[in-house]
Amino acid sequence: MDWFSIFVISWMGVAVVTLLSLVFLKVRAPYGRHANDKWGKMISNKWGWFIMELPALALTPIIALSGPSELDWFAWLLIGLWTLHYFNRTVVYPFRIKTKGKMMPLTIVFSAIFFNGINGFVNGYFIGYLYVPDTTLTFLEPNILIGVVVFFLGMYINHTADGKLIALRNGNVGYQIPRGWLFNYVSCPNHFGEIVEWTGYAIIGWNLPALSFAVWTFCNLVPRTLNHHEWYFENFEEYPKNRKAVIPFLW
């Protein structure tokens, strides 16, 4: 097994350890509704989001384009979908959210830079340095067709849920219970959508780096979702008892 595969598999192992640690130790990362200054110096929530997501937006296309691999339509598809997601997450989302005056710790920003930097590197390196075009490949391959549908379904769920959460802040002070649509089934359909989205990307790419990011997305967002789910029950006596955390009807 080559060094890159060992590195990516080890990185997925770190994801699983992170998931178990955050869930069993009940760690609440102090940003968003859980924000506090106990983790050190703070930065604007908007600029924190922008800075910590920027490595993922920049590294994957830059590394992919700088490598010696010949980039065919499929490689461009992987680059394009990655960039589409992270352009929204880096450039659009931070300035779309209505979180005036909110702050997040710099420790969260730096840890996210590390996380996004490695994920951006492994996916960009694979495309730019290890990818070998397959001239027999067409868009009608089952994994590509299914993966594209799953990817855009997840993106739609993620963006729609984000929009509904942002709309709750219009003219209101403090958090409210989101209701309707997928919020009737899970506390965080935005996180569910992102998990679905990157599962779709892994199905399309059918490679180890894409799989590793789908695994990391799940391992990173599930503890965050469980934190939100518990927070709702702690702060709203009327919060629906039958609502799951992240996966409808299951979890």
For 158-201, the pLDDT digits (tens) are 999 999 998 887 655 667 899 999 999 999 999 999 999 999 99
Q: Which of 52, 78, 55, 31 is nearest to 211 (CA)?
A: 78
Q: Pull the structure tokens for residue 5.
A: 């595969």
> Taking a C-beta distance cutoff of 8 angstroms, is the pair 81, 55 a contact?
no
- pLDDT confidence of residue 166: 87
Q: Can you tell me the distance from the alpha carbon of 128 to that of 65, in angstroms, rounded to the nearest whole number?
A: 6
**How many whole angstroms separate alpha carbon 177 and alpha carbon 165?**
9
Q: In the prediction, which pLDDT does 173 show?
A: 60
251 residues of the chain, pLDDT tens digit each:
899 999 999 999 999 999 999 888 777 766 666 656 666 788 888 898 999 999 999 999 999 999 999 999 999 999 999 999 999 999 999 888 866 778 888 888 999 999 999 999 999 999 999 999 999 999 999 999 999 999 999 999 999 999 999 888 765 566 789 999 999 999 999 999 999 999 999 999 999 999 999 999 999 999 999 999 999 999 998 999 999 999 888 87
pLDDT in the model for residue 131? 96
Rounded to two decimals, the pTM is 0.92
- CA neighbor of 194 nearest in space, from 229, 168, 221, 215: 221
Q: Which residues pair with 244 in a beta bridge?
A: 186
Residue that has been written with the tokens 């990818």 in this structure: 131
Cα–Cα nearest to 154, from 187, 116, 189, 206: 189
Cβ-based burial of 120 (10 A; exposed 0-12, middle 13-18, buried ≥19): buried
